[in-house]
């Protein structure tokens, strides 16, 4: 049997485009002599549709798309993901379903059993868990069809009470197919391959795993669909961060092997948190060359899809001569094209001359348009207007933030005038500690580096320069500074970033409390100071723009903490 995996990039709610893309792939698979073509989870409507699922019209559109697709299945089987209404009154009104279409008919439907409700996932909000499991016969094969999380129910301490594959094995399948919408983070591709292989070895069956690709606002899907034979050998691995199709000719000799026990102690839960436990190794892990390369590709895809799916093509950002804006500008130029990214240099009386020259040289190297708009006159006008209120009070954070908000106003004015989207340049270390100005440098329509720690930003700059200097060396080597007062450095307000990031990582990604981090050998005063900064600045992050997610725990929809909580604050 020949099966095509169709790894595609969908647009949430764009039924006509999604359906046309699916039908095109069916035609191509038929021309290649395939017996079946497999698509990803909820491909018909796009993933995650979130509260669109509460609109009857949205579900009607899904059904109309299924009807249109099945007309192309007279001589080829098709597996697509779409919601299905629940005919039973008890429980939720929808199932997350895999539809098996053949001969112009709906031959079978498999329901997702394991509904993730953690991090960016909230599926139990909308879907009823599957409660019946049946293999699907097709051309002499017995197919165990599952959806994404269904294959993660492997461990001594699973998240779910029922394992769909355990139930399906009672009917003696000889092939596993899993359709997924599994988001990217910088080591999750290895986790996915590990869990697919673990299923193969446990059940002694080959598995075809089809993942989607593309970015949906903040969530990036990286593809990487795979085929493992029953021996646990990886025979097909598809592209990452790109659409791709893979034709798999199932080898009869490999279609079934003896199942055996697999060491899976807490496997699925360990895969949901990052793996580095030694604080002294955190920075090496975060800045590992492979991780940085993947982060770069994910950010490119995140920017490109956000703009194309929103109908925009031009971006603007403030270029300060610092490392964050430099990396953001370079990535944006790669994603959108240098002519579509406008940099605005806004020096104040506290800006150093090399900051302006560094930012200017960066735009010259990249070839993008840029403007220089000094802000001193605007700032002085504000100060004159505020003088009756401020009186003789000394210079403070109020004047610092006023400069930042002046820059934010200028950027938004230009964005409104010319139809740009403002790219925010704040990094994860700053967002974690509240080192930013609301409605100033925290303004923007999309955050590029909001899930990238400061030490990773430096590593990204070196990666960008891997084939020659694009980001001027002085930008990378000079001490980071907001330049909002004379001689200011980030280290005046924050710990050094190599110390800060390893504490943030343990707390945010690994959910370690203060005593656990201190027990790792980290200074107690540093830990308590950092965690207090994180928890007292939740109100700022709550007002922030969407952040492209590249880690296992990003700020935004996947991290939900109360603003007024007292814990560690």
- Residues annotated as catalytic (active site), given as ranges: 41, 112, 148
Q: Which residues, 6+ apart, have CB-to-CB distance to 68 below 8 Å?
A: 19, 23
552 is in an annotated binding site: no
321 is in an annotated binding site: yes
Using CA atoms, how far residue 302 sits from 9, 220, 306, 368, 546, in Å, is: 12, 6, 6, 20, 11
175-180/141-147 β-pairing: parallel
Instruction: For helices 323-336 and 454-464, give the axis angle rounded to 10 degrees.
Output: 50
31 is in an annotated binding site: no
DSSP 75: S
320 is in an annotated binding site: yes
204 is in an annotated binding site: no
40 is in an annotated binding site: no
Burial bucket for residue 556 (CB in 10 Å: 0-12, 13-18, 19+): buried
325 is in an annotated binding site: yes
322 is in an annotated binding site: yes
**Four-CA torsion 240, 241, 247, 250, nearest 10 degrees:** 40
454 is in an annotated binding site: no
The token pair at 34 is: 């395939």
Distance of alpha carbon 520 from the chain centroid = 29
Burial bucket for residue 261 (CB in 10 Å: 0-12, 13-18, 19+): exposed
Consecutive H or E run containing 292: helix 289-310
Please give the Cα distance from 286 to 499 (Å, whole number): 13
118 is in an annotated binding site: yes
Instruction: With beta carbons less than 8 A apart as the criterion, state whether 440 and 538 touch.
Output: no
> In 320-360, where do the E strands start and end?
341-345
Closest CA to 445 of 554, 536, 547, 337: 547
430 is in an annotated binding site: yes
319 is in an annotated binding site: yes
Query: Which residues does the annotation place in the binding site for L-glutamine?
Result: 118, 182
Query: Which residues does the annotation place in the binding site for ATP?
Result: 318-325, 425
Query: Which residues does the annotation place in the binding site for deamido-NAD(+)?
Result: 401, 430, 540
Query: Which residues does the annotation place in the binding site?
Result: 118, 182, 318-325, 401, 425, 430, 540
């Amino acid at each position: 049997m020949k099966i095509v995996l169709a790894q595609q990039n969908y647009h949430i709610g764009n039924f006509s485009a999604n359906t046309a893309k699916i039908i095109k792939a069916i035609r191509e698979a038929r021309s290649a002599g395939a017996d079946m073509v497999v698509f990803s989870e909820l491909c018909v409507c796009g993933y995650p549709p979130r509260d669109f699922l509460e609109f009857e019209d949205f579900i009607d559109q899904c059904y109309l798309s299924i009807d249109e697709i099945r007309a192309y299945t007279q001589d080829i089987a098709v597996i697509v993901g779409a919601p299905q209404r629940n005919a039973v009154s008890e429980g939720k009104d929808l199932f997350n379903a895999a539809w098996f279409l053949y001969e112009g008919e709906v031959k079978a439907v498999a329901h997702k059993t394991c509904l993730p409700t953690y991090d960016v996932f909230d599926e139990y909000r909308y879907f009823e868990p599957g409660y019946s499991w049946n293999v699907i016969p097709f051309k002499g094969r017995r197919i165990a069809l599952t959806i994404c999380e269904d294959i993660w129910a492997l461990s001594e301490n699973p998240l779910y009470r029922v394992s769909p594959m355990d139930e399906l094995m009672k009917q003696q399948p000889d092939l596993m197919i899993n359709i997924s919408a599994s988001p990217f983070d910088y080591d999750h591709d290895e986790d996915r391959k590990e869990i697919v292989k673990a299923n193969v070895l446990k059940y002694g069956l080959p598995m075809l795993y089809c993942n989607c690709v593309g970015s949906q606002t903040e969530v990036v899907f990286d593809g990487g669909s795979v085929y493992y034979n029953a021996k646990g050998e990886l025979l097909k691995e598809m592209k990452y961060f790109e659409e791709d199709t893979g034709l798999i000719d199932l080898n009869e000799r490999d279609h079934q092997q003896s199942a055996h026990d697999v060491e899976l102690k807490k496997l699925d839960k360990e895969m949901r948190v990052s793996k580095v436990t030694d604080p002294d190794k955190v920075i090496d892990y975060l800045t590992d060359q492979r991780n940085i390369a993947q982060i770069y590709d994910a950010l490119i895809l995140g920017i490109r899809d956000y703009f194309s799916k929103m109908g925009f093509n031009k971006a603007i950002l403030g270029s300060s001569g610092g490392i964050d804006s430099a990396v953001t500008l370079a990535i944006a130029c790669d994603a959108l094209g240098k002519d579509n990214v406008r940099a605005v240099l806004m020096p104040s009386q506290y800006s150093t001359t090399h900051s302006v020259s560094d930012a200017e040289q960066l735009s010259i190297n990249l070839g993008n348009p840029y403007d220089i708009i000094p802000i001193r006159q605007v700032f002085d006008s504000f100060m004159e207007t505020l003088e009756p209120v401020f009186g003789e009070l000394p210079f403070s954070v109020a004047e610092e933030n006023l400069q930042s908000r002046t820059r934010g106003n200028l950027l938004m004015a230009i964005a409104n005038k010319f139809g740009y989207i403002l790219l925010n340049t704040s990094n994860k270390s700053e967002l974690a500690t509240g080192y930013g100005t609301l409605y100033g440098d925290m303004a923007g329509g999309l955050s590029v580096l909001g899930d990238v720690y400061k030490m990773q930003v430096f590593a990204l700059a070196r990666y960008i320069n891997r084939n020659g200097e694009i980001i001027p060396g002085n930008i990378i080597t000079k001490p980071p500074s907001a330049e909002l007062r004379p001689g200011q450095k980030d280290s005046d307000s924050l710990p050094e970033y190599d110390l800060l990031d390893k504490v943030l990582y343990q707390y945010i990604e690994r959910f370690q409390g203060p005593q656990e981090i201190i027990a790792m050998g980290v200074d107690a005063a540093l830990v308590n100071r950092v965690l207090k900064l994180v928890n007292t600045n939740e109100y700022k992050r709550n007002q922030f723009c969407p952040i492209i997610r590249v880690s296992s725990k990003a700020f935004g929809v996947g991290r939900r903490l109360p603003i007024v909580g007292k814990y560690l604050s």
